[in-house]
Amino acid sequence: MRPRRFLPSIRLLLALDAVVRHGSVTAAAAELNLTQSTVSRLILALEEQLGKDLFTRERRRLIPNAAAVSYQRDIARALDMVQRASMSVVANPKGGTLSLAVLPTFATRWLGPRLGQFFTEHPGIAVNISTRIGHFDFASEVFDASIYYGQGDWEGTYRLKLLDERVTACVSPEFAAAHPLRSLGDIGDLPMLHLESRPTVWADWFAGQGGEPSGSGGMLMDQFSMMIQAAISGLGVALLPDYLAQIEISEGRLVPVLRPAVPVRGAYWLVWPKEKDSEAPLQAFRNWIEKQAGKDREGGAAVPKP
């Protein structure tokens, strides 16, 4: 039994959310297609239902207090969950929905080209994908699972190791012509492109080549897609996972440097909250992606065409 007092209507919650976000009754009214007086009445009705003041009233302004700001943060997440659930029902009326958080480049370059096969094998399951970098709190998000890069240290989750990461140093053909790289000593002071989430990858690569790191200058980026474009533009040497490097090399936009496919620390993992372990869409996806990753481990990282 849910007490009615603590279940305000969506209309009241939308008014609160809009007023706090915009800091203005006028802007909130425009967003909700209501009059200012109606929005003010909705806020008053919410306060009366909760028995709690949420705003200070100065002339015609509503100024949210600390309780209102905190409440709006929670309500915004709840409204997002309701919206996503409703969209899932419309998009997949037969049920069976999986909400997945994935690293941006992994989503477009590895997972995306393979998803068609999953839908063919599981036509009753809809997959909603959003990109995320790093850990987040499953309790405050709408995701059923996440694919991330790391050490398999996501607390409070079950996890499945998908792929170890191996990297290849790549440069543009023009860069290679201007800066021949036949040994580690040739790296010298050349600019090295760095990824925020891979702080040790250059040290790992040098160790895999049988040498010590030399030089560290270069651009710092937060996504592989940016690093790829920087390398193609001749801005430096990029270390790319094999599933990315093979694509760019085969297209002739980048060329490999020295020994390719050097193993580094870190791997790609599928993780999910323990309480979702028995959900059928997640189980189906987990079994499917484990097979896909197994094919890569056995036969290299060839990427199917979309």
Confidence of residue 186 (pLDDT cuts 50, 70, 90): confident
Q: With contact defined as beta carbons under 8 Å apart, do 163 and 114 qualify?
A: no
Q: Which backbone phi and psi does 187 adopt, to 5 degrees? A: -65, -45
Topology, domain 4-90: Arc Repressor Mutant, subunit A (1.10.10)
> Which pLDDT band, with edges at 50, 70 and 90, does 197 fall under?
confident
Average pLDDT over residues 233-257: 91
Residue 103 has pLDDT above 80, yes or no: yes
CATH, domain 94-163+267-299, list 1.10.730.10, 3.40.50.1100, 3.40.190.10, 2.40.30.10: 3.40.190.10
Distances (CA, A) of 205 to 103, 173, 221, 259: 22, 21, 18, 10
Pairing relationship of beta strands 145-150 and 255-273 according to DSSP bridges: antiparallel
β-pair type (61-64, 55-58): antiparallel
Could you state, in order of their start, the residue ranges of all structural domains in the chain? 4-90, 94-163+267-299, 165-264
Is the pLDDT reported for residue 89 higher than 80? no
Same CATH topology for 4-90 and 165-264: the answer is: no
Question: What pLDDT, in 10s, does the model give residues 48-80?
Answer: 999 999 999 987 789 999 999 999 999 998 888
pLDDT mean across residues, the chain: 88
pLDDT band, residue 200 (cuts 50/70/90): confident
CATH 3.40.1410.10 is right for the domain spanning 165-264:
no
* Among 79, 134, 77, 126, residue whose Cα is nearest residue 101: 134
Instruction: Report d(CA 22, CA 38) in Å as an integer.
Output: 16
